[in-house]
Amino acid sequence: MKGISNYRRGGPDDPLAQEIARQKGLSEIPFYRKDRRQNKIFDPQEPMQRWMAYTPDRDGPVNTEQPEGHDAAHLTTLIKQKGLELGGSDVGFAELTPIMINVGFEFEQHYIISVIVAEDYAKVLEGALAVEIEAFEVYVECARISTQLAAFIRELGFSAIADHNGRR
């Protein structure tokens, strides 16, 4: 199935972010400045490196021996349990549609598994920097869980790709 959605990457090279900076009279986007005061406390590159470290394992070989006697309902239960065991706050399933896939990408899979990881509300009450740190940590957790869950599904004998932002 081929993707039909346009993807906006975000970041300092994002045309929309650059246009907003121009409209505000800014020569650069403050969040992406290397000398931000917050960078002395929190360097966003560190969690990004941990996040991207999962990229090589997002896909892999599929076990050729599928388990016998496992119907779709039982497999769904096994996968959900594993996702929760790995640290997900909730796990859901849906049929994959072309609008869920970015232009230029294609998947042979017909279903998606969404894993939710809750942010620590008490941490985010500490202010904007705490929100930023917590969000980055949750993204790293999502990458870890989705990568490990995809490996689990492949071991069960089914194709699975962890499609987190560290995909390429």
Total count of domains within the chain: 1
pTM > 0.85: no
Q: What is the structure's pLDDT at 168?
A: 46
99: exposed, middle or buried (Cβ count in 10 Å: 0-12, 13-18, 19+): exposed
Enclosing domain of residue 105? 15-155
Query: Would residue 6 count as lying in a domain?
Result: no
Query: Would residue 34 count as lying in a domain?
Result: yes
pLDDT digits (tens, 9 = 90+) for 66-79: 777 778 899 999 99
Query: Would residue 165 count as lying in a domain?
Result: no
Q: What is the structure's pLDDT at 110?
A: 92
Q: What is the structure's pLDDT at 60?
A: 95
pLDDT digits (tens, 9 = 90+) for 33-65: 666 666 677 888 889 899 999 999 999 999 998
Query: Would residue 160 count as lying in a domain?
Result: no
Residue 128 CB: number of other CB atoms within 10 A?
A: 9
